[in-house]
Amino acid sequence: MLKLMKYELRKTMFSKLVLLCITGVAEIAYLVGVFLKTDKGDQILAFGAIGLMMCMMIGIFYIGIDSLISFHRDLNTKQSYMLFLTPKNSYQVLGAKILENGLSIFLAGVFFAVLIAVDASIGILYIGGVKEFLDLLNQLMISIQININLTPQQILMPFFAVLAGWLMTVVSGDLAIVLSATVFAGKKFSGLVSFLIFLLIDYIASKVLNAVPVVRDLMVQYVMIIGACFIMVIVMYFVTGWIMERKLSV
């Protein structure tokens, strides 16, 4: 399984390196802005901060999309032989993909959370104190019409709930890709039908998440939502693996 995961990582390595490079440019801009302490510096800081936020949001989104593109290629081109000639079953092949993608999404999330924490600390140290830094950040947020009055915990828990939800969406995409390559293979409009099925699966998944009981403690609420996402991921993993094992011809 680890060897399969290693090659899954290798397949999506290029886009992750591109993301890392762009993040590096935004980070340099942010740090230059912090150290310059001039009006021009503030502009560069704003550019860097917005760049980092964009890298985080688009980057994590793209890691999921890249995994779907790779999976589609693995089932619909001759490179599928590289996976399905190995002495591994479909559950292992799919499991390696989901685990690698889940870990990539989670680690990217942690990476950006740590980066933001470090950048905030640097900002506090060099701009002249917490209040000044928050004022500057608030001005920036007002300028892009976002108002934040939250604790780090209140930001992190929904953030990780969003990551879990995104992983669930990616796995429902995997299921749709497998349906397209098996049940609907060779049929007219198989791509469209699979996309509609993906929307249906995602709709059902969102209904399941809505059915999570509401509790007073917000942290417990998020833990329950993340748990529900993982249960959905596991259910869809077994359904997808079962279809692949019985129906998939590459």
Partner 1 sequence: MLECREITKNYGRKTAVDHVSLKIEPGRIYAMLGPNGSGKTTLMKMAVGLVKPNAGAFYYKGQPIGIESRKEIAYMSTEPYFYAWMTAKDIGKYYEDFFEDFSMKRYRDLLARMELTEDLKAKSLSSGMMAKLKIAVTMARDAKIYLLDEPLNGIDLLARDQIISSVLEAVSSDVALVISSHLVDELEKIVDTAIFMKNSHLVEVCGAEEVRIQQGKSIVDKYREIYGHGGEELC
List of residues contacting partner 1 (CB under 8 A)? 3, 6-7, 10-11, 14, 78-82, 84-89, 186, 246-250
- Burial annotation 101-120 (CB, 10 A radius, 16+ → b, else e): bbebbeebbebbbebbeebb
SS3 of 92, please?
helix
Which residue number, 85 or 214, has a Cβ lying nearer to partner 1? 85
For residue 180, which of 244, 116, 132, 227 has the smallest C-alpha distance? 244
Task: Name which of 35 and 81 has its Cβ closer to partner 1.
Answer: 81
In terms of CB distance, is 216 or 246 closer to partner 1? Answer: 246
Q: In angstroms, what is the minimal distance from the CB of 192 to partner 1?
A: 18
What's the min distance (Å) between Cβ of 84 and partner 1?
A: 6
C-beta closer to partner 1: residue 45 or 97: 97
Q: Cβ of residue 21: shortest distance to partner 1, in angstroms?
A: 18
Min dist. Cβ of residue 15 to partner 1 (A): 12
Radius of gyration of the chain (CA): 21
In this complex, which beta carbon is closest to partner 1, that of residue 89 or of residue 121? 89
Q: CB within 8 A of 248, min separation 6: which ones? A: 75, 84, 90, 178, 181, 182
Least distance (Å) between residue 186 CB and partner 1: 5
- For 134, counting Cβ atoms within 10 Å of its Cβ (0-12 exposed, 13-18 middle, 19+ buried), the class is middle
3-state secondary structure of 128: coil
How far apart CA 136 and CA 46 sit, in angstroms, is 9
- Helices 2-11 and 90-127 cross at an angle (nearest 10°) of 60
